[in-house]
Chains A and B, each alone.
Chain A
Amino acid sequence: MEDVYIIGCGMHPFGRFDKGYEQIGAEAARLALIDAGISWRDIQSAFMARMYLPATSGPRVLRNLGGTDISIIDVEAACASGGAALRQAVLAIKSGDVELALVCGTEKMPRGFMDPSMIYSPWQVELGMSQNPAYWSMRAMRHMHEYGTTEQQIAKVAIKNHRNSVHNEVAMYRKEFSMEQIMGSPLVCDPIRLLEICSPNDGAAAVVVASGKKMRQLGAQGIRVAGVCHSISRYSSDFRCPADSMSATLENAGPTRVTAERVYEAAGLGVGDIDCFEVQDTDAFCEIEIYEDLGLCPVGEGGLLIDSGEVEIGGRTPVNMSGGLISKGEPVGASHLGQVVELVDQLRGRCGPRQVEGALVGLAHVLGAGGNCAITILQR
């Protein structure tokens, strides 16, 4: 089947803004079209990733670009919405239905903990089991118990990502923090601290995807979508609500491991072929577990990997060059496409001080409610 390419991308900064989501999303979409050197009327199908926004958000955002009667579909898969939307666009092109599609992720979210009723049953909320950081925190406590991972190793992830964000003009927080500052910030859920957690916010990111034939017609230089997979966790290993779990086996593979296996196979690439990574750092610990689930290191050695410096820009396998969600914030529908934009920029060599030298292949990963996981691999 024909290869699919990203021929343009754009972002509205992630942060908090006094404007509507319609405007935020339209700005990202417009920038992606300009970057691709095409106009809105060339687009044959559009997909809008969002979680917190109302029905028909896609048409409401994109009508700011001009009238149209093409198919515009809203896509929701929790934190993996952007990956699910990109996958739909890739499938639409591979099927031969369209040659040029727009994928946009847009979000505008209230401050503070996310609305628990979107994820948890009323009884879980009443009992106090509805605070998101608690779930990763429990995994962190077990990881520390089992493998000797330390609070300092977890803090190092936050230090790295905050440091990387200084050079990213679309990040919400662009400030370095010291070990003392991170460890001195209040515990939210033991052992996770305030400066180690990402915050919901506003933002948008968009990409234009094209068939190889269309790309050549346009004379564009695209980045190939080598693979994009989306899955949810197997019922019995739902990492968010294990209260629902009545598992026959306690150690089912988690959603990142399952999705990674699928996307490596689809792309015909292994973890060793990948030059740079953008992953879901909902909190600093979860990045450590994701190193292990993506195969960057053996299980239990994620703490050693952050100690080694290999996940820094300039290391062997840089992770979250953009500053990650800890620095950018997490506008849920836009977060994965924001990662994809970072990778496209990395593979095109236009990331300035945070550029990974000679990057040819990049991987973007998101993971969230319901064990929704999406991974995209891009190749120059």
Chain B
Amino acid sequence: MANDGTLYTYTVVRHRPPGNYRGPDEFEPFGIGLVEVDSVIRVMAPLKSKIEDLKIGMKVRFHPYSLRTNDAGDEVIAFAYAAAD
């Protein structure tokens, strides 16, 4: 699967999601979107771009990031997409 894709659609989450959300302690609105990859699949993921920069059709790139450290002391990696440039 290619690292690069196109933002098919997105939304901005304006309130802290319910349950065990691992975002910043002080909630900040963030984007989530559906990224079209290789013209055959769509992947849903958080978007690590500024919310005011989000635009349908923008080029985005796979963006792994460190989510947290688990009980065993291992780093837990999560995925997102961010603007390609």
Contact = CB atoms under 8 A, between A and B. Distances in A.
A239 to B, nearest CB: 11
| Residues of A in contact with B, size category | 35 or more
Contacts of A115: 18-19
A238 to B, nearest CB: 10
Contact of B19 (A117, A142, A248, A250): A117
Contact of A142 (B17, B44, B56, B78): B56
B65 to A, nearest CB: 10
A242 B42 contact: yes
Contacts of B34: 138, 242
Contacts of A117: 19
A128 B40 contact: no
A129 B44 contact: yes
A188 B15 contact: yes
Contacts, number: 107
A186 interface: yes
Contacts of A116: 17-19
Contacts of B41: 245-247, 250
A139 B10 CA distance: 8
B45 A243 contact: yes
Given A138-B9, A138-B33, A126 B18 contact: no
Interface string B49-85: 0000000110000000001100000000010100000
A1 interface: no
Contact of B15 (A131, A137, A141, A191): A131
Contacts of B20: 122, 125-126
Nearest to A129: B32
A112 interface: yes
Please indicate which of the listed interface residues B10, B33, B80 has the most CB atoms of chain A within 10 Å of its own CB: B10
Nearest to A124: B44
A241 interface: yes
A190 B78 contact: no
Interface in B1-59: 8-15, 17-23, 30, 32-34, 36, 40-46, 56-57
A187 B32 CA distance: 15
Interface string A124-167: 01111111001001111110010000000000000000000000
Nearest to B55: A145
B46 to A, nearest CB: 5
A131 B30 CA distance: 12
A250 B56 contact: no
Interface of A: 112-117, 122-123, 125-131, 134, 137-142, 145, 186-192, 241-243, 245-248, 250
5 contacts: A113-B17, A129-B17, A131-B15, A134-B11, A243-B43
Given A128-B13, A131-B13, 7 more contacts: A125-B21, A126-B67, A134-B13, A134-B32, A138-B10, A142-B9, A188-B14
The 8 closest A-B pairs by CB, nearest first: A137-B11, A142-B9, A243-B44, A113-B18, A116-B19, A125-B19, A131-B17, A189-B11
